[in-house]
Amino acid sequence: MKQLTRLSPTASVGAVMNVLDEDGAVIVENLASPGTMELIESELAPHWQDIPYGDSEFIGFRTQRATRLVALSRGCGELAMNPLVLGAMDQILSPFCKRYHLHVTNGVRVGSDETPQLLHRDDELFRGYIPRPRPRVLTNVIWALSDFRRENGATRVVPGSHRWDDDREPDETQFVQAEMPAGSVMIYLGSTFHGAAANTTGEPRTGIILGYSLGWLRQEENQYLAVPPAAAKSLPEPLQHLIGYAVHPPFLGWVDMKDPHSALEEDSGPGLLQPMESGRGS
């Protein structure tokens, strides 16, 4: 089985796209600064003790999942706006929409003695609604908050499976693992089979999953409840737009006949919607 390609943090968007087109997944090592990852560690630390383990094999009986990360963590907001990641999303998603948005946020802490997660595709969420071959409706990334190693549950990936049809399923030996140091990221298409591996160590393995999807699709995580206006007001404006406080041209998602960003403005004025230009978050 082909190993995942690893790129340096200075890699170009073109280099990322070349690997994604071929393999459906790519690792960019050490893309986030140690300071950003330490910030996220400190921001999420108070919450793990209150988050229960999952209650199914898919979610994980020894796995915790932190949600609403944009509201909980300034560092996760920085990851969501990473220029290289957004540059790749411009290439992957923008051909099929005027504006894409943040689809889901998930801090995934795979605990000791966790068993392997079922290999799956994230775009199965839309199976039956958008038949395959479908446009690239979503793409996810997973940032390594701790080192991803074979023994502690580094994500399993099936390179090339983004080209398979709906009838082809991988077997449980048909994968490689995304081993990478903390601060690295794996970008993987929604049609690529993947899943967490078993953690056979005594320590948890923690990753930050951020998903991006077409702006005219409903988000998996309801960002307007996860990050309500009172919380969203303090965010940088491009991040406000990315989580959904922006109309999708020509006028999907308005409120009071205005761009939804008006809900975050002190005085938005009485004007009605005007034609909007395309853009990802600005």
At position 118, the amino acid (one-letter code) is: L
What is the distance between the alpha carbons of residues 72 and 42, in angstroms, rounded to a whole number? 11
Q: What tens digit of pLDDT does each residue of 91-137 get?
A: 999 999 999 999 999 999 999 999 999 999 999 999 888 877 788 99
Encode pLDDT of 7-35 as tens digits: 999 999 999 999 999 999 999 999 999 99
pTM greater than 0.75? yes
Which stretches in the chain have pLDDT values below 70? 267-282
Name residues whose C-beta falls within 8 Å of residue 66's C-beta, 6 or more positions apart in sequence: 44, 47, 48, 51, 72, 106, 107, 109
Q: Which domains does the chain have, with CATH numbers?
A: 6-264 (2.60.120.620)
* Whole-number pLDDT of residue 267: 65
33 Rama class: left (phi>0) / alpha (psi -120 to 50) / beta = beta
pLDDT at 276: 46
